[in-house]
Structure 1
């Protein structure tokens, strides 16, 4: 692959690239591999939206990049304590298992990747001092804006959520990379890094942003914190079928359609990766020839024309997705260590027993007086009846 072809592949299939000239300079002038990091906060169970990042990581590896995977354990706690601090260690192990399995499912050689735990360097003296520098010069409103689409927003935010984007910016320096990869939802954090790292003496990096897969319900993206929006990577075949059956999929409408977007950004990209650039998606039809797509625009046109209906599309996606998830589920079932870690990382929630409300029977003395009065009335009534005889 020529340097120009490498640069083209690095920038391919992305929604936006900030400071692309950095990529050109590293490859054409410095004549070395581009160093890129992709990070994930180890919160809820990873979902199928992760396929989008994994496919891009596969392309970056093919382009000759050196990739670092950051398992951001402290970020997971800082984001409104989505990961309880006592479970962080186990969730890091769980994420490493599942991210590696996910990468293998799309054909990535994981020996070419470097996995790094955030807390392995984020508690160092130098990092802490740099974090203090950023905290000292960053207004609360700026920190809130930076994390607006990534950190859970509340009317009365925790301090950890404000520190989150500052640390993500610093990670670029401490991981010694030229670029950071992330979803389009990371853009405000990326621009924060561009504007603020030079203020504490560090260089700016390039930022690679891929599109986001909309949620299956009304959510704008698949999210670990919104169960109805996502399909987990270890969901059973039956659960996948049920979730897709219930997914919002408006007939003849492409915009905001999570099912169509999933086919485009996951199924087409993965099959293209596995077949050397020849994507395909087959839709079986009862009593008719199957619809076979090698062009996403043709699929979209057929969907808008109602040739491809939501029912047909969902059934085909269910089959394709389950085939993609099968090796991940099989690896999980074959690993006692992974299953044990899953239990420790995501212990079952204890169901709160309903406490039966005791009826307030009032003051015992008053109750006794009322009963006595009632008994006296009954006695008088009975004696009156006797006299009338």
Structure 2
């Protein structure tokens, strides 16, 4: 790939880059690197899959990819993960991410996995963290992490330290690009401000969109019907997609279309396969889409019925997550150890 092709590959299916000029300059240098961090809290689901699928794009654009399993962050954010479960949940996240990368058509062995406890408990990281704490006001840290850490009128110190640690992680992992959901923007903009003041490079920031839940609006981790879990069987996937918010001709807050755009079609593209909707002849017969845009156009124009769209989407999503589901069926102890209260 030339620089233009690599840039397009890195930027597709993203919400924002800060900045594209910096990205082009970076891709002209040897061995550019990108990192993403995941705090091992709740079970992973299709929303995670859309961001993890991007790692395949990074690998194909010849970036060095690091995944941080941010175990300490998971505890610092209002103890979303109890300390005694960090080991089990970190292992579950690693296996789940590897399975998703493989399902996206890339080799997980090409990714470096690091746990926060591998480097965040020792100097020079701890000394750098103290320096950041001395230079950063409470209000600045709260503002930067407002979309990520749990908020309250009387916040715990852990949530404030979380924000500074995530900023410092970029430098500690020697990453050129910090990648995450658009909700991470405040933290990584803080990193761009703080890190150069402490002798580190200013990271390029790349953000993925936050996709809608299947019930419309923001996806909710606590609402089972708003997301597809990685372990859902085909019948459950079909049921959730069939119950999804998908009004004829409407694109906004339409989770079905968003998961087709950002997950299903990119995976099919790597396989060189089209998206096929099977319909009886009396309803127009089968229809084949080589790209997402044409599907959306026909849906908006009323030429594609929501139920036909849902039926096909459920089938494709179930097929894409099948190897991930199989992995956890083969190793049920991973989920049982990570979430003992849910797997009694």
TM-score norm. by structure 1 comes to: 0.83
Instruction: Please state whether the residue corresponding to 1:49 is helix, strand or coil.
Output: helix
Question: What does the per-residue CA deviation read over 1:148-202, in whole Å, with 9 as the maximum and x for residues that have no partner?
Answer: 2222233332221222221111001110111111122211111111111122222
Q: CA deviation at 1:59?
A: 1.1
Aligned partner of 2:135 among 134, 137, 148: 137
The aligned counterpart of 1:293 is 289
Instruction: Please state whether the residue corresponding to 2:155 is helix, strand or coil.
Output: coil
Give distance in 1, aligned partners of 2:98 and 2:266: 18
Distance 1:310 1:206, change over 3 A: same
Work out the number of aligned pairs and report it.
342
Matches within 5 A, 1:176-255: 176-220=174-218, 222-255=219-252
The aligned counterpart of 1:343 is 336
The aligned counterpart of 2:320 is 324
Deviates more, 1:241-250 or 1:251-260: 241-250
Give distance in 2, aligned partners of 1:223 and 1:202: 36
Instruction: Please state whether the residue corresponding to 2:109 is helix, strand or coil.
Output: helix
Question: What does the per-residue CA deviation read over 1:131-157, in whole Å, with 9 as the maximum and x for residues that have no partner?
Answer: 222222222222122112222233332
Runs of at least 5 residues in structure 2 that lack an aligned partner in the other structure: none
Give distance in 1, aligned partners of 2:343 and 2:109: 39
Runs of at least 5 residues in structure 1 that lack an aligned partner in the other structure: 352-389
Instruction: Please state whether the residue corresponding to 1:152 is helix, strand or coil.
Output: coil
Q: CA deviation at 1:225?
A: 4.7
Give distance in 2, aligned partners of 1:17 and 1:350: 40
The aligned counterpart of 1:387 is none
Question: What does the per-residue CA deviation read over 1:300-330, in whole Å, with 9 as the maximum and x for residues that have no partner?
Answer: 2222233222222111111011111111122
Deviates more, 1:84-93 or 1:248-257: 248-257
Whether contact under 8 Å (1:135, 1:166) holds in the other structure is yes
Q: CA deviation at 1:350?
A: 9.7
Whether contact under 8 Å (2:69, 2:116) holds in the other structure is yes
Q: CA RMSD in A?
A: 2.0
Question: What does the per-residue CA deviation read over 1:332-353, in whole Å, with 9 as the maximum and x for residues that have no partner?
Answer: 223xxx31121111012599xx
Matches within 5 A, 1:34-73: 34-73=32-71
